[in-house]
Structure 1
């Protein structure tokens, strides 16, 4: 008898009128323990109630459902959604019920994130994900209100432009892991976005005509990008390295692990920038040189 975790849900285990009950309840062990204690007190006072009638939906439960049922199959930003949820939204709101997350708590989240030096634009992307999770929760009958709609987004400074000098480019390349170097070089020489680059497959690369087909760009319209000599050399070299692999993946983390998630690049790029001692620089800034 007690509480236990099973398939990411906390359950309570108790006996009432000679019958054993095992029921999912609570977003955390603490909430499950409180629910069990309430039942035990009720049984002792002959005021037993069915805990399932008071069951509420955890934010973590709804967010995981959103990622698997909606984001994974409908959004090109699924990898970003998954990262922003697990790294930021889950620690902040994961153990709360949907109807316990208030505009005030979200405002506190904004303050805490910016206090850590996170840019307003980045925080806005996290809040946009939170807002859409609630939109789907309402649509699926799991919530009645969207608290994020009552929170004002940060005003973004879209005029920020950061260029790399030639010596900084060399430092960055020298500081990067081998798998990351061709990705950085392609970004510098084509102006392509990170997601566009790692989504490329060999059928998208025409070395004879010297063009790259971007099938799913941000604006939704496929486009062709010309290759300069550097980019043609990079893809030609990668083609020779991958000729014995029976798949269409271009970029690999190591010899047998293709790059499929943004998180694989994020950490490596951050380490390279820090090692090169380059200040105030992000992956998307690579596009500004083109």
Structure 2
């Protein structure tokens, strides 16, 4: 039933004993009639368990919608990774409708990306983004049994030799970025992840107490852990702190800086520093330093070097894991990756049984 209140049309009807009385906010009787019919139909379909199939959606549109919805929840680094993943996925599925994507299409995409030279780890990250997009539209469950992650190498990693480290540090010290040298030295003496390092604030560094507290971290086990500072890390952080006499606890340890150059010698100088904003990346300076030092290594290899050296010094894997902030699942993986390094520690542990057991000789055993 339609009726008027003032100049606005209202409708009223009963469905399953429930009286529905709502305004159409319209002065048009014909529009009010359509609004009432649409409202009644929606309620009747819901009461009978009838759901409308969503309109077909192109993958490219769904992917961009995924980025827009998640942007506020992601850290800037995650936003960049996800945007890159979507960029590659759109090339493979741009004009496909979401419900037309099959497990065969995903497998074909994986093979093509391998031919393009992408690593298995990178492809797995892209498929994880694809999974999130399809799961949001309730389409992933049907594909999941037939899709497998590509095998990743668990032996990737390089330990720097002392000679390589010396060349690399020399090149970092001469870099146009004055942040690079202290950042590399601190990493080589704490094992911090790159994100943990670059997000450091001075409130997290206790030079008097010879320790630093990790803030945001990749793993729950890594967040909030306290890392003791050795003499090298303390000296470098102390010298670096003296470069910022007006620093505050909330300021970034490695702030964003703008640099310029002048003169025939192309002398570099600092044109501005934003102490509240951590530097986003040291990639350009790092790449240049590696080239000068003739060292082939990733930034993560600095952390790999720390791990290997700690194990070679006799520390157990669990202790190294606590220092580096490994999650329980990562601990299992690392026990396989670094098992050959930890063998000396294991041998020492087993030798302790000799000192604790009743003396026994081969003659006694053989009778």
TM-score, length-normalised on structure 1?
0.65
CA offsets, 1:113-148, max 9 Å, x none?
33344332233233223323433xx2xxxx230287
Aligned partners of 2:85 and 2:125 also within 8 Å: no
Mapping of residues 121-270 of structure 1, within 5 Å: 121-135=121-135, 138=136, 143-146=137-140, 149=144, 150-173=146-169, 174=171, 176=175, 177-221=177-221, 222-245=224-247, 247-254=250-257, 255-257=272-274, 258-261=277-280, 264-270=281-287
Kindly state the Cα deviation for residue 277 of structure 1 after the two structures are TM-superposed: 3.4
Q: Which has the larger radius of gyration?
A: 2
Which consecutive unaligned segments of at least 5 residues does structure 2 have? 1-53, 258-271, 307-367
Kindly state the Cα deviation for residue 103 of structure 1 after the two structures are TM-superposed: 3.5
Aligned partners of 1:60 and 1:90 also within 8 Å: no
Q: Structure 1 residues 239 and 259, CA, compared in 2 at 3 Å: closer, same or farther?
A: same
| 1:63 corresponding residue in structure 2 | 66
CA offsets, 1:160-203, max 9 Å, x none?
33111122223333055432222221111111111111121111
User: Any idea what SS the aligned residue of 2:242 has?
Assistant: helix
CA offsets, 1:37-96, max 9 Å, x none?
xxxxxxxxxxxxxxx9666571342232243143x2xxxxx3343222333431431744
Aligned partners of 2:188 and 2:302 also within 8 Å: yes
Counterpart CA distance in 2 for 1:90 and 1:68 is 15
Kindly state the Cα deviation for residue 104 of structure 1 after the two structures are TM-superposed: 3.8
Q: Would you say how many aligned residue pairs link Structure 1 and Structure 2?
A: 224
Counterpart CA distance in 1 for 2:230 and 2:154 is 29
Q: Structure 1 residues 188 and 154, CA, compared in 2 at 3 Å: closer, same or farther?
A: same
CA offsets, 1:207-248, max 9 Å, x none?
001001113333314211011122112221222222325542
Counterpart CA distance in 1 for 2:126 and 2:211 is 35
Of structures 1 and 2, the one with the larger relative CO (CA 8 A, separation 6+) is 1
User: Any idea what SS the aligned residue of 1:256 has?
Assistant: strand
| 1:278 corresponding residue in structure 2 | 295
Aligned alpha-carbon RMSD (Å): 3.0
Q: Structure 1 residues 204 and 268, CA, compared in 2 at 3 Å: closer, same or farther?
A: same
Counterpart CA distance in 1 for 2:81 and 2:103 is 19
Pick the aligned partner of 1:288 from 279, 304, 310: 304
User: Any idea what SS the aligned residue of 1:209 has?
Assistant: coil
Kindly state the Cα deviation for residue 267 of structure 1 after the two structures are TM-superposed: 4.6
TM-score, length-normalised on structure 2?
0.53
